[in-house]
């Protein structure tokens, strides 16, 4: 599980002009850095508010556009809990999400090493899984929270 803020600050000027086939504009760099920097699964609104600190003229539409572009180019993942506002996550490792019902914080959880989807699901022969989204909600013991 991880909620670690990165020790290095990501700076827009260090982001290459293109990333994963996506042209990185000023706004996209900003949004991307901010996600990399504060990996707390913000909503589009959260991103908007944070982005405005450094780019006061950025619009919410642009934030949505940037997030969509980043998601489409698989630089960022979109995370949905029920029908709550989507959240965004720059962790590209395969993982799932756990929401602490007490704090609302979202944590990344990984699969056991070597585990395969057919090891735990009764999928019919030949089914090809293209996307998997697993979300958990529950209670974290406070001891674990600190880490």
- Residue 80: both structure tokens together: 């949905």
Interface with DNA includes 41 (CB under 7 A)? no
The site partner of 21 among DNA, a second copy, none (C-beta below 5 to 8 Å per kind) is none
Q: Which of 1, 11, 26, 59 binds a second copy (CB under 8 A)?
A: 1
The site partner of 25 among DNA, a second copy, none (C-beta below 5 to 8 Å per kind) is DNA
How many Å apart are CA 142 and CA 147, to the nearest integer? Answer: 9
Q: Which of 117, 90, 87, 115 is nearest to 99 (CA)?
A: 87
Q: Which residue has the tokens 């980043």?
A: 70
Q: Which of 36, 38, 40, 86 binds DNA (CB under 7 A)?
A: 86
**Phi, psi (rounded to 5 degrees) for 98:** -120, 125
Residues in 80-139 that interact with a second copy by CB under 8 A: 80, 82-83, 86, 96, 98, 101, 109-113, 115, 119-139
């Amino acid at each position: 599980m991880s909620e670690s803020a990165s020790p290095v600050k990501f700076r827009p000027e260090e982001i290459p002009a293109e990333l994963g086939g996506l042209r990185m504009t000023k706004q996209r760099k900003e949004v991307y850095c901010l996600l990399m920097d504060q990996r707390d699964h913000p909503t589009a609104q959260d991103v908007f508010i944070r982005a405005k600190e450094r780019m006061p003229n950025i619009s919410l539409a642009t934030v949505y556009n940037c997030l969509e572009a980043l998601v489409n180019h698989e630089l960022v993942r979109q995370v949905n809990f029920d029908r709550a506002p989507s959240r965004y996550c720059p962790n590209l490792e395969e993982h799932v999400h756990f929401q602490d019902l007490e704090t609302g914080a979202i944590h990344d959880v990984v699969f056991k090493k070597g585990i395969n989807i057919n090891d735990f699901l009764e999928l019919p022969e030949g089914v090809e899984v293209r996307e998997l989204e697993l979300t958990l909600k529950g209670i974290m013991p406070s001891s674990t929270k600190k880490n």
